[in-house]
Amino acid sequence: MAEEVMLIGAKGSPFTRRVETALKMKGVQYEFMEEDVSNKSPLLLKYNPVHKKIPVLLHNGKPICESLVIIEYIDETWKGTPILPEDPYERAKARFWAKFMDDKCLQPLWKSCSSQGEEQEKAKEEACELLKILDNELKDKKFFGGDTIGLADIAANFISHWFLIIQEVTGVEVSTKDKYPKLYEWIDEFVNCSIIKENLHPKEELVAVFRGRLQAATATK
């Protein structure tokens, strides 16, 4: 039976891009369905009724939600380049850092550029501490996953591309090569991996996406 793989996502979304990276690492062909999250489709609400968020992977009609869960599903379902290591301890570490990106880093990094005044100063301080932790973790390694990219690297994609562009758009400087040399080496290695480089989201499109989101964030204040 021919496999049916569909991805409901949005081009500007780093979570969607995580899943696309995993599918590409495995060489899985898929159909992409662009979702407008400001006007959610009945399809999205049907397949992700709990969170109502993208991305959603549909494998032979079965929905899988939450990008990190989807990546593990892809890793377990298709052969090809492994995304998680085999060793249980190494797997646990990969999950730990992937979760750290989502639970700890996402909000402060976004807020460090999108908020204002005291809230922004606090977010910047927090973001700097978090980036230092990541810089230290990379001390003796090329990737969070070791010699090759893995779950935590894919989870950190918003740092290598999105966050740099947000800083450029807003003119807010949080991360610099001088402050986080290992992190910047990682960014360089990561975005130059063929699978990432060939699928990097065009910068101009992301600039437009962020301008819109930043305007929306200011308008709701």
Ligand X SMILES: N[C@@H](CCC(=O)N[C@@H](CS)C(=O)NCC(=O)O)C(=O)O
Radius of gyration of the chain (CA): 17
Task: Choose between 1 and 50: whose C-beta lies nearer to ligand X.
Answer: 50
Q: How far apart are CA 167 and CA 174, in angstroms?
A: 7
To ligand X, the closest distance from the beta carbon of 114 in angstroms equals 14
Q: How far apart are CA 123 and CA 23, in angstroms?
A: 33
Candidates 7, 28, 66, 138; binder of ligand X (CB under 6 A) is 66
To ligand X, the closest distance from the beta carbon of 49 in angstroms equals 13
Considering only residues 5 to 44 of the shown chain, the ones binding ligand X according to CB under 6 A are 13, 15, 37
Candidates 21, 67, 115, 157; binder of ligand X (CB under 6 A) is 67
Are 94 and 156 within 8 A, CB to CB?
A: no
Give the distance from CA 123 to its chain's centroid: 19
Does the protein bind ligand X through residue 114 (CB under 6 A)?
Answer: no
To ligand X, the closest distance from the beta carbon of 144 in angstroms equals 17
Q: How far apart are CA 21 and CA 143, in angstroms?
A: 15
In the chain, DSSP assigns E strands to 5-9, 31-34, 56-59, 62-65
| Span near ligand X by CB under 6 A; candidates 64-72, 138-146, 193-201, 205-213 | 64-72
To ligand X, the closest distance from the beta carbon of 83 in angstroms equals 15
Task: Choose between 26 and 53: whose C-beta lies nearer to ligand X.
Answer: 53
Q: How far apart are CA 17 and CA 111, in angstroms?
A: 21
Footprint of ligand X (CB under 6 A):
13, 15, 37, 52-55, 66-68
